[in-house]
């Protein structure tokens, strides 16, 4: 199986030992504590689950700046984005060397992790501007990722953490949330050697389904891991439980047995386009995938990124040898009326727009809200039914 990034074996930061876990939970109740941001909580969950292997905790400002500017920490280790714990105020933990980090996303703010603080730093406006521009490609406050990143505060606490729970992800999505450790185990149980990973924050339409099959055929993969983002999205995106139901129905009816694994991970969407694509590849290698599909405008939002910037960044900016996972580069996929099947548009140079079944997201939402199923060339009827029920429940 493919090695994790930066180590021979996965090193998740979740405390699995029952006695140690109990002792830490008991200790945490007497420690100074602070409620962290949703983004910092997502980082803790990813660290605990092994996705950010081999990081040991939150970065210093110097390490975060290095990751933003050249995807390298001060010791030369590769990481594509800053992993910070930014706070509005450190008054509640002033002078403490060991603290409890509390979850902002669960009622009662339970302890998410225990942290040894190595440094408390002030992040300057210039540093925030540099990190924002390099990671998100813009400093526009209308960009949802830029807004979320810059709304956390300017005090950075850094140091190793021990993770004690997986926030709401394990309880709200017990059938879907999986750690990198669990996915590796599942891949081994399936006996798969070549594994394609597919990232989604949306339900999968016919084109997405066929893209997974095209990638599997092209690299001769044994299976595909459909890996859903389960964290916070922007307003208007479809909630995770609805996506989950739609994707499971599609996989059940339209994929051969023992070729698809449906899972999810606990992280807030960054909408950072190319930089987020590299992060996605990084943690897909950690979960055991050998190939990762990156399509048109991967992890993008609005018009901030070029259609294929998320692919070309692997040639132009990712340090050589940093990742072993291979990128499957996909074009926009759509149903060809001429060929009566889904194709990548780049593979059909003799086609015009009128030769494809193309529907905008707005048009699809309108149809579903009115109880009208999109054409079967665009969406499987069983999937459309689940989405229609959701959209009509909003009216």
pLDDT digits (tens, 9 = 90+) for 245-299: 999 999 999 999 999 999 999 999 999 999 999 999 999 999 999 999 999 899 9
User: Is residue 114 a contact partner of residue 98, using CB atoms and an 8 Å limit?
Assistant: yes
Distance CA 211, CA 290 (A): 17
Give the residue among 116, 121, 123 at the shortest CA–CA distance from 101: 116
Active site residues: 201-202
User: Is residue 316 a contact partner of residue 193, using CB atoms and an 8 Å limit?
Assistant: no
Residues ≥6 apart with Cβ < 8 Å to 75: none
* Predicted pLDDT at 366: 85
* Same-fold call for 18-170 versus 176-394: no
Q: For the chain, what is the mean pLDDT?
A: 94
Q: CA-CA-CA-CA torsion for 47, 239, 284, 11, nearest 10 degrees?
A: 20
User: Is residue 190 a contact partner of residue 226, using CB atoms and an 8 Å limit?
Assistant: no
Within 10 angstroms of residue 367's Cβ, the number of other Cβ atoms is: 20
E strand segments, 53-126: 57-58, 86-87, 98-102, 111-116, 119-122
What are the pLDDT digits (tens) for 78-97?
A: 999 999 999 999 999 999 99
Query: How far, in Å, are 119, 171, 213, 267, 347 from residue 102 at the CA level?
Result: 19, 17, 41, 16, 50
* Predicted pLDDT at 361: 73
Give 281's Cβ-side CA count (13 Å radius). Answer: 27
* Predicted pLDDT at 274: 97
The pTM assigned to this predicted structure is 0.94
Tokens of 123: 């992040």
Distance CA 99, CA 114 (A): 6
Distance CA 267, CA 368 (A): 28
pLDDT of 360 strictly over 80: no
CATH code assigned to 18-170: 3.10.400.10
Q: Any idea which architecture 176-394 has in CATH? A: 3-Layer(aba) Sandwich (3.40)
Residues 185-192 have a mean pLDDT of 96
- What residue segments make up the domains of the chain, in order of their start? 18-170, 176-394
User: Is residue 295 a contact partner of residue 330, using CB atoms and an 8 Å limit?
Assistant: yes
What are the pLDDT digits (tens) for 365-382?
A: 888 888 999 999 999 999
Residues 133-154 have a mean pLDDT of 97
Please report which confidence band the pLDDT of residue 46 belongs to, taking 50, 70 and 90 as the band edges: very high
* Predicted pLDDT at 358: 84
Residues forming beta bridges with residue 357, ordered by sequence position? 335
| Helix intervals (H) in the chain | 18-28, 38-48, 61-70, 125-136, 144-150, 169-172, 180-190, 206-219, 240-254, 274-286, 309-316, 361-369, 381-394
CA 128 to centroid of chain Cα atoms: 22
Distance CA 274, CA 187 (A): 27
* Predicted pLDDT at 236: 75
């Amino acid at each position: 199986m493919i090695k994790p990034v930066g180590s021979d074996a996965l090193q998740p930061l979740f405390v699995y030992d029952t006695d140690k876990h109990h002792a830490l939970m008991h200790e945490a109740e007497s420690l100074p504590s602070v409620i962290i941001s949703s983004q910092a909580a997502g980082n803790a969950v990813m660290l605990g689950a092994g996705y950010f292997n081999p990081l040991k905790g939150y970065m210093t400002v110097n390490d975060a700046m290095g990751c933003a500017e050249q995807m390298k920490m001060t010791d030369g280790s590769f990481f594509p984005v800053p992993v910070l714990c930014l706070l509005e105020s450190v008054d509640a933990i002033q002078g403490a060397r060991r603290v409890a980090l509390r979850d902002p996303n669960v009622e009662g703010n339970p302890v998410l992790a225990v942290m040894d603080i190595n440094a408390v730093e002030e992040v300057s406006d210039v540093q925030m501007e540099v990190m924002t521009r390099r990671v998100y490609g813009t400093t526009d406050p209308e960009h949802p990722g830029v807004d979320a990143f810059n709304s956390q505060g300017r005090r950075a606490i850094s140091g190793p953490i021990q993770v004690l729970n997986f926030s709401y992800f394990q309880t709200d999505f017990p059938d879907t949330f999986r750690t990198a450790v669990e996915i590796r185990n599942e891949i081994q149980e399936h006996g798969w050697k070549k594994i394609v990973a597919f990232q989604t924050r949306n339900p999968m339409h016919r084109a997405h389904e066929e893209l997974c099959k095209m990638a599997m055929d092209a690299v001769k993969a044994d299976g595909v891991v459909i890996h859903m983002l389960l964290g916070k999205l922007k307003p208007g995106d479809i909630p995770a439980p609805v996506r989950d139901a739609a994707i499971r129905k599609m996989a059940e009816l339209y994929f051969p047995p023992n070729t698809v694994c449906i899972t999810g991970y606990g992280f807030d969407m960054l909408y950072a386009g190319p930089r987020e694509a590299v992060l996605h590849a990084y943690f897909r290698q950690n979960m055991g995938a050998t190939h990762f599909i990156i399509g048109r405008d991967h992890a993008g939002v609005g018009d901030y990124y070029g259609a294929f910037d998320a692919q070309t960044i692997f040639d132009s900016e990712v340090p050589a040898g940093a990742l072993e996972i291979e990128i499957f580069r996909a074009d926009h996929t759509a149903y060809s009326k001429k060929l009566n099947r889904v194709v990548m548009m780049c593979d059909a140079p003799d086609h015009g727009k009128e030769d494809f079944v193309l529907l905008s997201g707005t048009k699809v939402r309108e149809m579903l809200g009115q109880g009208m199923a999109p054409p079967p060339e665009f969406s499987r009827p069983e999937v459309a039914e689940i989405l229609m029920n959701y959209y009509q429940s909003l009216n």
